[in-house]
Structures are given as structure tokens and as C-alpha cells.
Homo-oligomer: A and B are copies of this chain.
Amino acid sequence: DSHYSPGYYWLGNNTLKVPLVLHKENRQRLVSLFLSNHKETIQKNSYILLEGGKSVTLYDSDHEPLFKQEKYFFWAFGSDMPDCYGLISLDDALNPISTLVIPKLPAEYATWLGEIHSCEYWKSIFLVDNVIFVEDMTEFLVKNNATTLYTLSGVNADSGNSLTTPKFEGIEKFNVDTKLLYNDFSECRVYKSPKELEVLRYACDASVSAHKAVMKNIKIGMKEYESEAEFLHHSYKHWGCRNVGYTCICAANANSSVLHYGHAGEPNASTIRDGSMCLYDMGAEYHGYSSDITCSFPANGKFTEKQKIVYNAVLDASRSVIAAMKPGVNWVDMHKLAERRILSHLLTAGLLQAANGVDELIENKIGSIFFPHGLGHFLGLCTHDVGGYGGDAVPKVNSLRTTRTLKAGMFITVEPGCYFIDHLLNGAIADPVKSKYLNIPVIETYRKFGGVRIEDDVFVTENGCENYSSDLPRTVEEIESFMKK
């Protein structure tokens, strides 16, 4: 009666029972791709070596934040145990022999942290071929005449960071290649398997359900963080999601123009005021897979005319993109499409002016004043999932997190937004080229409006795409009717 049973992760009740063969299939996919791309290079008795996350304490204290597994390791092995390694033999593409390497726990572990399970037990849970102790890893590799160990080292396009090369006693006995694996592995993670999609669908369902509960229960005068508390509670108690993929953004009032509001320095601490827009960006995580969903709605349940203008601009962008998404479509074009839709609404509504229409606005980069972030990003085990600048990506365009051409199997957020951000407006007004496209007196009436973002999680299919968060009220009418008490 725990979260693990042989071959499954499950939190009971109505939560999703995840077959851990998901990760065995992931290992097979990885080895197949890696071997097929590097047939000539990879020698017999080579292994992929992954290092799981280490348990950590904060500063000098013994405070242990809730452990979160390193995501490449998790993708391949599905284990949330700290201080592990994983070995995958490269000798057989179809059935790669997989070895989970776990720490040998001291007897006191049973007193403080729980029952110490046998290697056989973990083998049955995670469907691997071997489970060995960290201290026996070198001997295991020597006995199997291991030649080269392929490890992960490559720059994460969102953070600029890289994983460090594993260090364990005896690693110097082997040839360690830190270069070859990274691109193939991150590319593998880009395409979601049917079993991964089931988990992602569940995480999305949990978030949709929790977002709806939050919208239903919002009251003028509440603190923003009360909505965060409700989202976390709903997705944990009813859906078993202990973690969120990222810190909840619960922004009301003008705060909705701060794209990553909600962090420790801006802790969702404002009072929700009548007449203001809420922008709630929150995503539950289950078995390591994250959703990432934003709902924007009027705090009092009824859109003002101004709110309708901005909201419908963003909704049109969102729906236009989702209607256009299919394999072969380039993401930069989707971003431009969203920008064009938003600008044309602002033009129609008289916030912008241009003798030659929207094209002139686009040429003069008016879009990024109101829509300063990228249209979306890959989503999976990471909120900003890997691979955005792999494949056919061209170098970074503005703040886009990917510039790739869509392919079936990709899972990506669609999150156009329109914001009234003081320092961007001030910069544009002060810019002689840009200011002439702004109807400044009208725009000034939108100061402190905040912003609108509509974010969905979308799977690219063979012929088009499927929106996993489509069960949310999204149109003005749907939202107003849903929020009616």
C-alpha cells in the first residue's frame, strides 16, 4: 500500500496508475536512436551512464527540501530515489540491458526514513534487468568489460546550464564520452510516447479541474495567495499531485502584467480588487510530468469592454495558432501569427494606428511591446522542456524558447499574451519610430490594466493537434457563464 507496486506508480483512489514500462520503452527509444545515429562510433560493451539527483540540504542547515529527481535520469528509470545512477548497455538496440544503481542504506535508515528494500524488490518495481549498489558499480562495469561510458553534457537552451560529469570511484578505468549523447537524448525527450501522453493528459486534467475550482471560488477582497492555496489543495487532495511544475503565478490587478509574478519576492500577496483581471498560471505535476496552464478572467466574473478587447485579441491569437498547428508548420511562423492577430485587434480597437495596417506595425516591432515573450515551449518532465533549440531550430529569435518546425509527437504550450507593462510602454512612447503607431491617449487608459495570457497544452498529431486543456471555459461568454454564481 505505497506509491510503488511491481511495475506501477500509483497514488490510489482515482489517481492515475502509471505503468513503469513507460520508462523501459523510453530506454529502448533512446538506445535505438543513439545506436542508429552513431553506428560506426559506438563500440561493443559501451554504456549510457546517467547520474540521478543527489539529496541536498539548504545552506549550512539540515533542512531538506522535498527531493526532485534529475529529469533525464527520471525519464529513463522513473525512480524518485536520490543518489542513484543508471546504466544502459548499448549492445542490443531492442532490449538494452538496464541497471539501476542504488545507494546501500545504513541500518538507521529504517528507523528514520523507512523500510530498506532489497535489490530484487526494486528490480520488480522498475522493470530493470539489474539493481546493484553504488559501491559495486565499478566492479560491475569491469566484469562486463565496459569500454566507453556515454554521459550527458550539453547546454540547456532555457537555463544556459549543463549537467556535471558523474564522479565515482573507479570511473577513470573507463573511457568517458561527454559529447555524443546529449543531442540524441534531448531529442528523444521531445517526442512523447503514448504512455507519457497518458501521464501528461492526467496532469492537464488535474490542472483544468483545479483552475476551475479556483475560478468558481474567487471573491473580491481575497488575497491572491488564497487562490494559490486552493489550486495546490485541489490538485493534491483530489488528484495526488504533490508538486507543481513551477511556482504558482496568481496575479490580479496590475500584477497580471508581471510575466513571472508569484516568486518569493512577489508572493501573490495583493488583494484582488473589483474590476481587475486575474492571470493565473499554474500547472500540476504527476509522476514528474508537468502541465502548464494559464487562465485569465475578470475577478468579478464579468468582462468590461476594455477587458473584452484585450481578452479577445489574445483568444483570437490562441485559437488561430491552434487551428494552424500541424506537422511541417514552423513555430516562428506561429509566433508571428499570434502577434499579427493581437496587433490587428489592438488596431481595430484604436489603441494602435498605422496607415498601412498591421504589416506596418509588425515591421516596426510594435508586437513585442504588448507581447514580449515567446508563444510557447515544449512541455514534459520539465516545464520548459528540453530540445527547443535542437532539430531544425535556427538561432534564438527574440525570447522564443523554440524556433523548430512542428513534428508529430511534440507537446508544446500555446500561450499568447497581451500586457500593459509600464517600462515597455514608456520605452515605446519615448521611441520616435514606435510612438507614432501608438494612440497614446487611448493606451494611457489601459495603464494598470495588467495583462491577459491564455495558455494551453497542445499535442501535435499526424494531421493537426489536440488541445489537452480544452475543457476550460475560454470564450468571454463561457467564462462569464461559468463564473456566474
Contact = CB atoms under 8 A, between A and B. Distances in A.
Is the contact region of chain A dominated by helix, strand, or loop, or is it mixed? Answer: loop
Contacts of A271: 1, 12
A162 interface: yes
Given A81-B265, A107-B423, A226 B237 contact: yes
A246 B163 CA distance: 28
A242 interface: yes
Copies in the complex: 2
Contacts of A53: 58-59
Nearest to A73: B59
Contacts of A225: 11, 236-237, 240, 242
A436 interface: no
A233 interface: yes
Nearest to A258: B114
A269 interface: yes
A142 interface: no
Contacts of A423: 107, 110-111
Interface stretch (A64-72, A294-302, A314-322): A64-72
A237 B3 CA distance: 28
Contacts of A230: 233, 237
B63 A382 contact: yes
A264 B57 contact: no
A62 B223 contact: no
Interface string A238-270: 001010011100000101001111011111011
A53 B242 CA distance: 25
Nearest to A266: B114
Interface in A104-138: 107, 110-115
Given A58-B68, A232-B236, 12 more contacts: A1-B253, A13-B223, A62-B159, A63-B245, A63-B246, A82-B265, A110-B421, A111-B372, A112-B258, A113-B266, A226-B237, A229-B233
